[in-house]
A and B are shown apart, each in its own frame.
Chain A
Amino acid sequence: MSERVAVRKTYKLFIGGKFPRSESGRSYLVQSSNVSLASRKDARDAVVAARAAVKGWAGATAYNRGQILYRAAEMLEGRREQFVALGIPGDEVDAAVDRWVWYAGWADKLAQVYGGANPVAGPYFNISAPEPTGVVAVVAPERPALLGLVSVIAPAIVTGNTVVVAASATEPLAAVTLAEVLATSDLPGGVVNILTGAITETAPTLAAHMDVNAIDLTGVTDAALATDLEVKAAENLKRVLRPAPADHDWTADPGVAPMTALLETKTVWHPKGV
Chain B
Amino acid sequence: MFEYAPAPESRSVVDLKPSYGLFIDGKFVDPTDGGSFKSINPASEEVLAEVAEAGAQDVERAVRAARKAYDKVWGPMPGRDRAKYLYRIARLIQERSRELAVLESLDNGKPIRESRDVDLPLVAAHFFYYAGWADKLPHAGFGANPRPIGVAAQVIPWNFPLLMLAWKIAPALAAGNTVVLKPAETTPLTALLFAEICQQAELPAGVVNILTGAGDTGRALVEHPGVDKVAFTGSTDVGRAIARSVAGTSKKLTLELGGKAANIVFDDAPIDQAVEGIVNGIFFNQGHVCCAGSRLLVQENVADRVLESLKRRMAQLRVGDPLDKNTDVGAINSAAQLERIRELSDAGSAEGAERWSPPCDLPDRGFWFAPTIFTGVTQAHRIAREEIFGPVLSVLTFRTPAEAVEKANNTPYGLSAGIWTDKGSRILWMADRLRAGVVWANTFNKFDPTSPFGGYKESGYGREGGRHGLEGYLNV
Contact = CB atoms under 8 A, between A and B. Distances in A.
Interface of A: 113-114, 116, 118-122, 124, 126, 128, 133, 213, 223-224, 226-228, 230-231, 233-237, 239-240, 242, 255, 257, 260, 264-271
Nearest to B459: A237
A133 B451 contact: no
A272 to B, nearest CB: 10
Interface in B447-467: 448, 450-454, 456-458, 460-461, 463, 466-467
Interface string B204-247: 00000000000000000000000000000000100111011011
Given A227-B247, A227-B248, A237-B240, A267 B453 contact: yes
B49 interface: no
A237 B441 contact: no
A270 B437 contact: no
A242 B141 CA distance: 22
Contacts, number: 107
A246 to B, nearest CB: 14
Given A234-B243, A268-B441, A122 B431 contact: no
A268 B439 contact: yes
Contact of B450 (A118, A230, A266): A118
A222 B224 CA distance: 23
B446 A124 contact: yes
Contact of A122 (B247, B448, B471, B476): B448
B443 A237 contact: no
Contact of A265 (B431, B452, B457, B460): B452
27 contacts: A120-B446, A120-B450, A124-B443, A213-B457, A226-B248, A227-B247, A230-B246, A233-B243, A234-B240, A236-B412, A237-B236, A237-B239, A237-B255, A237-B457, A237-B458, A240-B243, A265-B452, A265-B454, A266-B431, A266-B436, A267-B437, A267-B451, A267-B466, A269-B446, A270-B441, A270-B443, A271-B443
Nearest to A133: B456
Contacts of B461: 237, 239
Given A236-B458, A269-B451, 9 more contacts: A116-B467, A118-B451, A213-B457, A228-B247, A237-B239, A255-B143, A266-B438, A268-B431, A270-B442
Contacts of A234: 240-241, 243-244, 247
A122 B448 CA distance: 9
Q: Looking at B141, B448, B463, B476, which has the most chain A CB atoms within 10 Å of its CB?
A: B448
A106 to B, nearest CB: 14
A235 B246 CA distance: 13
Contacts of A223: 248
A255 B471 CA distance: 14
Contacts of A133: 456
Contacts of B441: 268-270
Q: Looking at A122, A124, A227, A264, which has the most chain B CB atoms within 10 Å of its CB?
A: A264
A267 B439 contact: yes
Q: Is the interface of A mostly helix, strand, loop or mixed?
A: mixed
A206 B146 CA distance: 33
Chain B, interface residues (CB within 8 Å), range: 35 or more
Interface of B: 125, 141, 143, 236, 239-241, 243-244, 246-248, 250, 255, 257, 412, 427, 431, 436-443, 446, 448, 450-454, 456-458, 460-461, 463, 466-468, 471, 476
Nearest to A113: B141
Given A231-B247, A267-B452, A257 B443 contact: no
Closest 8 CB pairs of A and B: A227-B248, A230-B247, A234-B243, A120-B448, A118-B450, A270-B441, A234-B244, A231-B247
B448 A128 contact: no
B427 A128 contact: no
A242 B252 CA distance: 10
A120 B244 contact: no
Nearest to B122: A121
Given A265-B437, A269-B446, A271-B442, A126 B239 contact: no
A230 B255 CA distance: 15
A130 B466 CA distance: 14
Given A235-B240, A237-B240, A264 B451 contact: no
A128 B465 CA distance: 11
A268 B432 CA distance: 10
B468 A128 contact: yes
